[in-house]
Structure 1
Amino acid sequence: MFGRKRNEDLAPIVEDEAPAGKGRPTPRRREAEARNKRPLVPTDRKAARREQRAKYAQARERMNEAMVTGDDQHMPAQHRGPVRRYLRDYVDARWNLGELFLPIAALIVAIMLGASFLPGLTEVALIAFYSLYIIVFVALTDAIVLAFRLRRKARIKFGPERVGRGVILYVIMRAFQLRRTRLPKPQNVRGAFPV
């Protein structure tokens, strides 16, 4: 009655012996610090510099390739993101008066140089000189109006928090570049405005 009951039908409980710990001894502090120590100055400076230059050259090559192909991942930070792509595509889709500024300015400089050698062209040179100011004013006005209109469209499309600072200057600078010399390269044809 007060004794121990024995039950023959219960199977004995066997505990699985799982390995305790991580299976290796904890390294001494001295050993861990020695493993993490790296020299501040490499022992072979020329090899380290060659390695660093090769790494920078490879990064520059990837970045230049991205500027041609339009790959956002490897572009410089100022050109990255959907907002900047939208702005670039919109500027590239239209004819800008700013792109015509450089060829017209070169023509006017040639006329002014010709007028210095031929005295009969002084009136033409004076007209060309003043027309250069008019062209600059008209092209700059066109680019500024485009930039403000484009910033408003980008804020509607992406939200005001995603359209950061520098949008107006970014659009103006791109509008004044010749289409062939723009970087990142235009990814759309003229007239294909982004939605």
Structure 2
Amino acid sequence: MAKTPSNETEQASGGDDAAQAPTTKGKGVPTPSRREQEAARKRPLVPNDRKEAARIQKAKSAEARERARVGMAAGDERYLPQRDRGPQKKYIRDYVDARFSLGEILIPVMFLVIILTFIPSYETQVIGTMGLWVFFIAAVIDVLWLGRTLRKKLAAKFGETRVEGGIRWYAAMRALQLRPMRLPKPQVKRGDYPS
């Protein structure tokens, strides 16, 4: 008896045709139409629940602002404004924060003079005003000395002393603020000068 091709295949496979699962061709799912795909991507410009969407947006904005505030206070470069970025500006901040400046107590002295002006004694008012001017001149001299010192130190450390916004102005504005009110917050202790 002659073997037919189907018999040969049957014998070669060992008769396990029933056990083998039929294979399907293609992906098994119909391709969605263009209209269906566009409809799935569409989102309304205005959400159905505007109050809920506004609340979610407000929470996200508050979280981003808080992250930026904490990052700026910590001196993280990503959150600092352009005027505070760079290694030279960080050096200036650390140097100013490490020393005591007369300008730090300028605001408390001004409040004291304002209180003295309420005393009805003319002599007390004149002494308070003159004392304020003397203190103010001493603070300006201190700031000028600070700027000169920083210019030399930056030239020795970085070689390039050109700083956007000016070394003296940047140092003076920081030195004339109360230490707890400075932003970014001081990262060094008193006397811990940068190398």
Q: Is the 8 A contact 2:83 2:165 kept in 1?
A: no
Structure 1 residues 49 and 145: CA distance shift in structure 2, 3 A: farther
Structure 1 residues 124 and 89: CA distance shift in structure 2, 3 A: same
Q: Which residue pairs with 1:159 in the alignment?
A: 159
Provide the C-alpha distance between the structure 2 equivalents of 1:57 and 1:186, rounded to a whole number of angstroms: 25
Counterparts of residues 139-158 of structure 1 (less than 5 Å): 139-158=139-158
Structure 1 residues 140 and 48: CA distance shift in structure 2, 3 A: farther
1:84 aligns with 2:84: no
Provide the C-alpha distance between the structure 2 equivalents of 1:139 and 1:60, rounded to a whole number of angstroms: 35
1:190 aligns with 2:195: no
Provide the C-alpha distance between the structure 2 equivalents of 1:129 and 1:83, rounded to a whole number of angstroms: 38
What's the TM-score, normalizing by structure 1? 0.67
Structure 1 residues 87 and 42: CA distance shift in structure 2, 3 A: farther
1:125 aligns with 2:125: yes
Provide the C-alpha distance between the structure 2 equivalents of 1:125 and 1:188, rounded to a whole number of angstroms: 39
Q: Is the 8 A contact 1:63 1:76 kept in 2?
A: no
Q: Is the 8 A contact 2:101 2:175 kept in 1?
A: yes
The CA RMSD measured in Å over matched residues stands at: 3.4
Cα distance, 1:177 vs structure 2: 0.7
Provide the C-alpha distance between the structure 2 equivalents of 1:149 and 1:161, rounded to a whole number of angstroms: 12
SS in 1 for 2:165: coil
Provide the C-alpha distance between the structure 2 equivalents of 1:106 and 1:168, rounded to a whole number of angstroms: 26
1:102-151 alpha-carbon deviations (Å, 9 max, x no partner): 1111111111112x3xxxx2112111111211111110121122123213
Higher gyration radius (CA): 2
Q: Which residue pairs with 1:69 in the alignment?
A: 74
Q: Which residue pairs with 1:20 in the alignment?
A: none
Q: 1:56 aligns with which of 55, 61, 64?
A: 61
Structure 1 residues 84 and 123: CA distance shift in structure 2, 3 A: same
Q: Is the 8 A contact 1:99 1:175 kept in 2?
A: yes
Q: Is the 8 A contact 1:147 1:171 kept in 2?
A: yes
1:190 aligned partner, one-letter code:
R
Q: Which residue pairs with 1:138 in the alignment?
A: 138
Structure 1 residues 81 and 74: CA distance shift in structure 2, 3 A: same
How high is the sequence identity, in percent, across the aligned residues? 45
1:159 aligned partner, one-letter code:
G
1:68-89 alpha-carbon deviations (Å, 9 max, x no partner): 3232232233222221111111
Point out where structure 1 has 5 or more consecutive residues left out of the alignment: 1-36
Provide the C-alpha distance between the structure 2 equivalents of 1:158 and 1:38, rounded to a whole number of angstroms: 53
2:61 aligned partner, one-letter code:
Y
Count of residues in correspondence between the two structures = 167
SS in 2 for 1:98: helix
Q: Which residue pairs with 1:15 in the alignment?
A: none
SS in 2 for 1:183: coil
SS in 1 for 2:78: helix
